Copies of this chain bind each other. A is one copy, B any other.
Amino acid sequence: MERCIEKASHKNLTQLELLAMSASYNLSDGHARQSLTISQQKIIAGLPDLFAQSMREPFEELERGAQRALLHALGQYSYPQEPGRVLSCYASSVAMVILARAMVDTVSTVALVHPTFDNIPDILRTSKFDLAPVEEEVLHEGDLVANVPPEAGCLFITTPNNPTGRVLTADRLALAAQWCAERDALLALDTSFRGFDVRAHYDHYAVLAESGCRYVVIEDTGKLWPMQELKAGFLVSSPNVRLPLQLAHTEILLGISPFILSLVRSLALSVAAEGWTELHQHIAMNRTAVRKILSETQAVSSPDPDNQVSVERIAVTGWDTRELWSTLREGGVEVLPCCQFYWAEPERGAPYLRIALARDHDSVSVGVERLRDLLLERA
């Protein structure tokens, strides 16, 4: 089972995604790279006016408007309204770095969902936290008291998770919040993928406020819209959070671009008016195509049948997935091997590949057909 690790040669997932940037069929990173919708095309056509408008508008009003538009479009009506409770960041990873820096003097151990995208454990490890893995099954079905180390000063959950798409239900969120409230631990959520799954649109902040726990939530626009990385991460915190988040934030930035905030507001208001259906159908069509094409080989199965987010994990039997990844690359198709998602036990990721779905239909189909052909050829 060590096949993955031996060959992954110390690269993190983002480094693997970098290798894929110029591929013919880049199904590697989870960023949105599909063509613009009609509504999005109209917004882009109006960029010069947007620039002029965001130059004139008072920054605070613009920032609050963008945050409100996004969070309301995601069903998050009860987020805290006091000044300073929602900090705008260049990206969700920058929000993550700010959180890590703000925790450094008061938290030693972070209990972190396992698996998850490796930049979260990597950022925490570089900041010298001890990490304790919490299996998805524990979070979603298990006994938190028996399985989350009591010394953890922070419980960190990605929901929906990457790459599995698993969504924490309101009941389980309430349990996690209760666990934290009883221990005065911080509950941290990364909800970057919630736009893809309406099951993650219940009002998390109402559940969190009810529990009285100290919390932070990282909200993100980076995965949703194909805006060439014009995006924002928002670091939301409870009034009782007791972390120097604003200080850590101002160490890194004065504010994010008013132009980007204005763009985020336009995109979110467009979704609020038209719903998430167009995006969800796009992803669902690509997921269906992946599953249909790969059903033609016996080697592939779907470990995450309920996954709605913009990446699809597949299990491949009879292959060293690292070799498969490498052979696919030679044919111009890039996907991600999954060992690094299992940050505490990388070998458990060896059976899996992750396929990005936020692409045009043709890219996904042709790329996955090549994968199918390769599997059939060697069957």
Binding site for B on A (CB under 8 A): 12, 14-15, 17-18, 21-22, 29, 31, 44-48, 51-52, 54-55, 58-60, 90-91, 93-94, 97, 101, 104, 119, 122-123, 126, 227-231, 246-248, 250-260
Contacts and interface: CB of A to CB of B under 8 A. Distances in A.
Contacts of A55: 228
Contact of A251 (B47, B119, B256): B119
A355 to B, nearest CB: 17
Give the oligomeric copy count. Answer: 2
A83 B143 CA distance: 48
Given A21-B255, A257-B228, A260-B230, A48 B48 contact: yes
Main secondary structure of the interface of A (DSSP, over half): helix
A122 B251 contact: yes
A14 B246 CA distance: 10
Those 4 A-B pairs whose CB atoms lie nearest each other, nearest first:
A229-B257, A14-B250, A90-B90, A47-B47
Given A14-B254, A119-B251, 16 more contacts: A12-B251, A21-B59, A21-B60, A22-B60, A29-B254, A31-B254, A47-B51, A54-B228, A90-B94, A91-B253, A93-B251, A94-B252, A97-B97, A119-B252, A229-B256, A229-B260
A20 B45 CA distance: 33
Nearest to A244: B126
A315 to B, nearest CB: 25
26 contacts: A12-B247, A12-B250, A14-B253, A14-B254, A15-B247, A17-B254, A18-B254, A22-B59, A45-B48, A46-B48, A47-B47, A54-B228, A55-B228, A90-B91, A93-B253, A94-B94, A104-B126, A119-B251, A122-B251, A123-B252, A228-B258, A228-B259, A229-B255, A229-B256, A230-B259, A231-B257
B228 A14 contact: no
Contact of A48 (B47, B94, B122, B258): B47
A176 to B, nearest CB: 26
Contacts of A252: 91, 93-94, 97, 119, 123
A156 to B, nearest CB: 15
A58 B228 CA distance: 13
A22 B64 CA distance: 14
B246 A15 contact: yes
Contacts of A101: 126
Given A58-B22, A90-B91, A252-B94, A230 B247 contact: no
Nearest to A12: B250
A355 B87 CA distance: 27
A12 B252 CA distance: 11
Contacts of A126: 101, 104, 248, 251
Contacts of A247: 12, 15
Contacts of A48: 44-48
A39 to B, nearest CB: 15
A230 B54 CA distance: 12
